[in-house]
Every structure is written in structure tokens, then in C-alpha cells.
Amino acid sequence: MDSALSDPHNGSAETGGAANGTTRPPSTPEGIALAYGSLLLMALLPIFFGALRSVRCARGKNASDMPETITSRDAARFPIIASCTLLGLYLFFKIFSQEYINLLLSMYFFVLGILALSHTISPFMNKFFPANFPNRQYQLLFTQGSGENKEEIINYEFDTKDLVCLGLSSIVGVWYLLRKHWIANNLFGLAFSLNGVELLHLNNVSTGCILLGGLFIYDVFWVFGTNVMVTVAKSFEAPIKLVFPQDLLEKGLEADNFAMLGLGDIVIPGIFIALLLRFDISLKKNTHTYFYTSFAAYIFGLGLTIFIMHIFKHAQPALLYLVPACIGFPVLVALAKGEVTEMFSYEESNPKDPAAVIESKEATEASALKGLEKKEK
């Protein structure tokens, strides 16, 4: 999991060009400002729209759009799993040929990227289809076992419009596979980020604090303590980071001196911000105080990361600044409003949990009975 913000301009994490040892001309102040301003904007888009879509996702009944709920146990194990994965990738790049590893990874992320981008653009594309468009429904269902022991492995519902979106996404996929262009990389990266914020749900605020706290330590250790994360970020030719060229003004779309931001710095704080939006809605006060507070905290934290990196000329673990901001600001607001208890007692059930499904059905039936009783009266 890559979650370092790097500045190739200073030589700490060079990701493009100059691989033959040639020195780069220094980036202009305008180019640097454009690059980091663009990275900040690109980071905000999937968080904002992913959080909004997470609300619809939590209320949805379509099995293909069910969110994956992260529990406190998952959150505690995640930094360990991420560390093992990162170290494994580092060793792979040291032992085996980087060319063949990246070829396999390119094919893997080619498929994932197409699916993620298709899912991302589908709601927007639906507005452009004419009313008489021949739309047919399909279902992809894989099960194992039989009778009472039958268990669903995959249950995905889609339609003709989704297939059109899949075709359009495949064009971007081929472009990325053949050219590895930074725009195609960013389209996939934004799609991965938005899908992550939309479909990964924390079950409560305490779980979010455990996850962010654990990855805070993970990020600081692997960036400041070793060169592992920066080395993997440089070697890993996959859309797991957003990039923007600092020499765009000089070279145009063929620019190659990139600043980069790992997707972990977007998705991890993003799922916490999305949780606070759903908490806002649960309060039924028609305000989104905690969402806007945490969103502003993210802007502050990422801006501070960029500033510190520019001052010290060294790659920075962005979560070092994002985690205290994204947790601290909303908690301070809750203290001021006297809603700390409500914040930490807010709980979301796992829609895939059979017990949660039964509970939801019982609640729906109870609500329907109350409605009938009112009509009879």
C-alpha cells in the first residue's frame, strides 16, 4: 500500500524519466504549484463524491453494490497485512526482474481498472442514454453447494448500459496498457479511490480511529525508517498513485517529471470522512457539520504535507499530518457541541451479515405494521 507524498524534483522519489542518470532541469515555481494544486484537487474529488455515494450504497439493496464493512479486528490487522505486502513487493523487485513483475501487475490492474472505472462512470453515463434505449437486465451468479448448503460466491446484477460503460472503460484500459500515460493512470487511480471510499465502510468511529492510528505508525515507519515505500513507489508501474507532471508547462502532455500521491492517502482518510457524513445524516439535523469539518481537515492536512515536503525536500508520510487533522478536528467539534457520546456510539451493521439482514427485515416489517395501524385509525 503506497501512501507517501513524494517530490521527484528533489530526487527523493523519482518516478519518471532520468533513469539513465541524466540530471533534470529544475522545475519552475509555477510548474510545482500547478502539480501540487492538481494533486490536491484530484484527492478531494473521490473523497467528496465517494462519500456521497457511500450513503446511497449503505441504503441500497442491490447485492452487487453492497459495501464491505471493516470491523475493529480488521482495522487492527490491516497495518500488519499492509506491511507484509509492502515488504513482499520490495523483495520481489530486488530479487526478480522488474520488467516481468510490472508486466503481470499491468495485466492485473488493467482488468481491475476497467471494472472500477466502469462502476464509477455508470451513474453519470445513465443521464446521457435516451429514454427509448433498449436496456436489458443481466445477472452473473456463481454458487457452491446445493440445497440448504448452497452459498453465493458472486451475485452481480448489471444491464446493457453497464456494458456500454464497460466498453468505454476498456478504451482507457488499452490506452494505459500500451502507453502507461499519466492521464490514463490517473483515471484508473481516481476510479479506485472513489470505489474504495464508496464501498469500504467503517462500522463505527472507534474502528476508524484504530485504522487511522495503525496506518499512522505504518506510514511514518516505512517512509522515515526505511527506503522501502519510496523504492516500491518508484518501481511499481501500476495505478496505485496519482501523478502530475511538474514540467507540464514546458513539455505539455509528454511531460515526465512527476510529483505523486499514494491512493492510501486518499482512501484511508476518505472512508473515515464518509463515515462522518453518514453519522451526520443519522443525527437528522439537516446539517453536515462533521463531514465538512473532516473534509476541511483533510485539505489542511494534505496542504501541510506539501508545505513540509517542499521545505525539507524529502518525501513525507502524508498520514503523519492527515490522521491528527481528520480525527482531531471532528472530535473538537463534537466536544464543543456536546455530541462525543453520540459520535462514538454510532454503529453501522454489516449488510452482508445474516443477523443484520434479519434485523433489517424485522425493522421493515415493524415499520409497515405501524403504517397499517395508522391507516386503520
- What single-letter amino acid sits at 61? K
Residue 45's DSSP bridge partners are none
8 Å CB contact between 217 and 75 = no
Alpha-helix residue ranges (DSSP H) falling in 252-288 = 264-283
Q: For 72-83, what is each residue's pLDDT tens digit?
A: 999 999 999 999
Confidence at residue 218, expressed as pLDDT on a 0 to 100 scale: 93
Residue with cell 457511500: 54
Strand pairing category for 316-317 and 151-159: unpaired
- Residue 137 C-alpha cell reads as 437486465
The answer to whether residues 49 and 194 touch, using CB atoms and an 8 Å cutoff, is yes
pLDDT confidence of residue 158: 84
Beta bridge partners of residue 70, listed in sequence order: 202
User: What pLDDT digit, counting tens, does each position of 160-208 carry?
Assistant: 988 999 999 999 999 999 888 999 999 999 999 999 999 999 999 999 9
Nearest to 116 by CA among 78, 173, 161: 173
Indicate the pTM of the whole model.
0.83
Other CB atoms within 10 Å distance of the CB of residue 253: 9
What CA dihedral angle connects 241, 246, 252 and 253, to 10 degrees? -10
Most confident of 12-16, 89-93, 111-115, 247-251: 111-115
Give me the active site residues, please.
Answer: 219, 265
Average the pLDDT over 13-31 and give the result: 56
Q: Extract the C-alpha cell encoding 66.
A: 453492497
Would you call 59 exposed, middle or buried from its count of C-beta atoms within 10 A (0-12, 13-18, 19+)?
exposed
Angle 160-179/182-199 helices, nearest 10 degrees? 140
Average pLDDT score, the chain = 84
The C-alpha torsion from 306 through 312 and 318 to 322, rounded to 10°, is -70
The cell numbers describing 217, all together, are 505508525
CB of 158 closer than 8 Å to CB of 140: yes
Pairing of strands 137-144, 151-159: antiparallel
What values do phi and psi take at 261, rounded to 5?
A: -135, 120
